[in-house]
Amino acid sequence: MDHLTALENKSIFIIREAYFRFRNIAMLWSVGKDSTTLLWLVRKAFFGVVPFPVIHIDTTYKFPEMYRFRDEYAKKWGLNLIVGRNEGQVEAGMGPGKGTKLDCCNELKTNALKQIIEKNGFKALLLGIRRDEHGIRAKERVFSPRDENFKWDYENQPAELWDQYKSTAAEDNHFRVHPILHMTELDIWKYMKKENIPLTELYVSKNGKRYRSIGCAPCCSPIDSTASNVDEIIAELESTHTSERAGRAQDKEDAYTMQKLRSLGYM
C-alpha cells in the first residue's frame, strides 16, 4: 500500500471509531487546508454523507475568502453547519489589538468552543491538528480526554496502544479526536492533489505572496511565493526549511504560548 493510501485508511479508521463510540460528536472546520482535508476524509468514511454537525469557530477576524469558501461548500456538501461565536466578547470589542494575543485566542476561539460544547453536549470533537505543526502537538494522543474545565493533562496522558483508544472514565468531559495527527504538511498537499480537494485561494500566490497557514487575518502573514497551484506549492515545500507556522503571530510571543493555550482547551 502506498504512503497516501496508508494515511487515508488510518484516518478513516479513527473517524469511524470516534463515531461508533460517541455518536453525539461534531467536527471543527476552520476552512483551512487541514480541516478541509479532514472534512473530505469524513465524507469518505461515511460514503459521501457527513452524519454530524460541522462547527466553524468564528472570531469575526477571518479572511473574507474564508467566509465565502465556508458558505459555498457547506451548501454543496449538505453540511449541518454550526457557527460558534463568543458574542459577549465580540461585542465587548475583544481583538488582537486588545490585551495579549493569548487572551484573544482564549476568548474568541477556546471560550467560543466551550460555549458550543456546553450548549450541544458533544461527547467528542474531531480536530484537524497534525503532529508536525508544532512541538506541543507532537505530544498529542489520537483520543485525548478533557475534563470539565477542558484541561489537557499533558503530564499524565493515558496509554494509547496500537489502535485501541481509551474508553470514557468518570473524569472525562469530552474527547478531542485527531484523525490526521499522523500527516505532515507535505502529506496534506499531496493528498489534496491526489483527491482534488478544493481550497481557498489564500493558499496560492497573488502578487508574489501566498499564505502557508491561515487563521485570523490580523495574525497571519503571507510568505513570498510564486506558487500558483498545488503542484507548485508541493515543489516549494519540498525545497524549503522554514516551518509552517512561522507566519502565525501567536506562536512567536513566548516559547510556551502554544502549551499554555492548549492546556486551557485550545485546539
Partner 1 sequence: MEERSLHIVIVGSVDHGKSTLIGRLFFDSGSLPPEKLEEVKRVCAELGRPLEFAYVMDNLEEERTRGITIDIAHTFFATPKRKYVIIDAPGHKEFLKNMISGSSQAEAAILLVEITRGIQEQTLRHCYILSLLGIKQVVVTVNKMDLAGYSEAAFLDLKKRIEEVTMKYGITPSYIIPISAMEGENVAAASDKLSWYKGPTVLQALDNFEEMKIEEKGARFPVQDVYEISGQKIVAGRIEAGRLIEGQGLWVLPGKTKAKVASIKKYLEPDLKEAQTGECVGLILEGAEVKRGDILSETLSPTITRTVHANIFWMIDKDYKLGIPLTFKCATQETRGKIERIRRRFDPASEKEAVTDAASISQAEVAEVDITLSAEVAIERFSDIPELGRFVLEHDGRPVAGGIII
Residue whose CB is less far from partner 1, 161 or 224: 161
Interface residue with partner 1 among 132, 147, 232, 236 (CB under 8 A) is 132
Residues sharing a CB contact under 8 Å with residue 58, sequence separation 6 or more, in sequence order:
83, 84, 85, 112
**Least distance in angstroms from the C-beta of 198 to partner 1:** 15
Stretch that binds partner 1, among 103-111, 167-175, 212-220, 226-234 (CB under 8 A): 167-175
Least distance between partner 1 and beta carbon 9 (Å)? 5
Interaction pattern, residues 226-255, with partner 1; x per rule: CB under 8 A: ---------------xxx--x--------x
Residues numbered 36 to 55 that lie near partner 1 (CB under 8 A) are 43-49, 51
The whole-angstrom separation of Cα 124 and Cα 18 is: 7
Q: Give the number of residues in contact with partner 1, rule: CB under 8 A.
A: 55
CB of 85 or CB of 139, closer to partner 1: 139
Which of 195, 230, 201 has its CA nearest to residue 72?
Answer: 201
Query: Sign (positive/negative) of CA torsion 149, 155, 159, 162?
Result: positive
Of residues 107 and 133, the one with the C-beta less far from partner 1: 133
The residue from 76, 121, 169, 207 that contacts partner 1 (CB under 8 A) is 169
In single-letter form, the type of residue at position 223 comes to I
Residue 6, CB-side half-sphere exposure with 13 Å CA sphere: 6
Partners of 83 in the beta sheet? 56
**Which residue's C-alpha cell is 480536530?**
127
Q: Are the beta carbons of 191 and 220 closer than 8 angstroms?
A: no
Using CB under 8 A as the binding rule, whether residue 16 contacts partner 1 is answered as yes
Task: List the Cα angle 144/192/123 in 5-degree steps.
Answer: 25
161 torsion bin: left (phi>0), alpha (psi -120 to 50), beta (else): beta
Contacts with partner 1, residue ranges (CB under 8 A) = 1-7, 9, 12-13, 16-17, 19-20, 43-49, 51, 131-132, 134-136, 138-139, 141, 154-155, 157-162, 164, 166-170, 172, 181-182, 184, 241-243, 246, 255-256, 259
